[in-house]
Each structure stands twice: as C-alpha cells, then as structure tokens.
Amino acid sequence: MGLGKAVVVEGSLVAFDHRSLQIATKNFSKKFVGGGFCSVFKGTLLDSTVVAVKQFQSVNQGEKQFWTDISTIGIIQHVNLVRLLEFWSEDAKRLLVYDYMSNGSLGSCLFGEKSSYVLNWKARYQIALGIARGPFYLHEKCRDCIWKS
C-alpha cells in the first residue's frame, strides 16, 4: 500500500520514509484542513489509494497527540473509526496517514460546512446511536480496552 521503505509496528501499522509521503501529497501542496497544531493534506499512494496525511506543527501539543493517535487509533480497528495506515517520525517532525474520507468530516455533514452533502434527521439519529455505542466498545469489547471496571 505504501510508498518506499516500510517498518511494521504494532501489527499492521506501518512506518514510512518522509520522501514517500512528500511524493504522495505532491510536496504537501493539497492542504484541505489546517489550524491548531496540525494541517491535513490529501495524498495518493502508488497503488492509487487516496489518503489524508496529518502533519503536526507544534512540537509540544503535537508530540503528545501524535503518540496518542498511534497508541489508540493505530491499534483499535472499528468500522466507525477512521483507520490509521502509516506514520512517519523524525526529530520534531511527525506525520500520520489515515484513510481519506471522501464525504468529508462528520462535522461538515452535520453542519453543512463546505459540503453539499448534509445528513437528514434519520441519519443523524443513527449516527448518535453509533456514537453512544463507541464508549461501550472502547471500554468493554475492544481487544485493548481503554478502561475496564
């Protein structure tokens, strides 16, 4: 799936070299989200898989969020959770590679931000139920439970 030299970490999570991610994102030129301590770029891997590449800018907060994402999202596989596919880390530079969400974020679908695709109330209700099931899954059913009583 990836481009370039890979190192398998935590099962199927893969570490790639920076040059490969520069090629996939056309030198980080396709930015579609930015703010806070990171920017997100659209990229295409050699096998034509479209991905979102999150680039962390803030060393302090970004560092913590980077390792949190790898240790949680990287090992939790769930149909309602975006997959973390690859990562790159060197010195103070950090990149995470996720599945690309072609319909945009949930927020853009709920609130119509920069999207012509807005959810109806029946769909919103189903999403609310799915969100309510999330903590149950993470705390009780997940292979590496977040917290268990």
| Band of pLDDT at residue 122, cut at 50, 70 and 90 | very high
**Where along the chain do the CATH 3.30.200.20 domains lie?**
1-102
pLDDT at residue 54, as a whole number: 87
Single out the residue of 85, 98, 86 nearest to residue 17, CA to CA.
86
Q: Which CATH superfamily is domain 1-102 in?
A: Phosphorylase Kinase; domain 1 (3.30.200.20)
Mean residue pLDDT across the chain: 74
pLDDT tens for residues 123-144?
Answer: 889 888 888 887 777 777 766 6
Stronger pLDDT, 91 or 12, i.e. the higher one: 91
Q: What is the pTM of this model?
A: 0.68
CA distance 69 to 96: 8
pLDDT tens for residues 31-45?
Answer: 887 766 788 899 998
The one-letter code for the residue type at 74 is G
Q: Is the pLDDT of residue 14 over 80?
A: no
pLDDT at residue 48, as a whole number: 87
pLDDT at residue 2, as a whole number: 39
* 28 conformational bin, left if phi > 0, alpha if psi -120 to 50, beta if neither: left
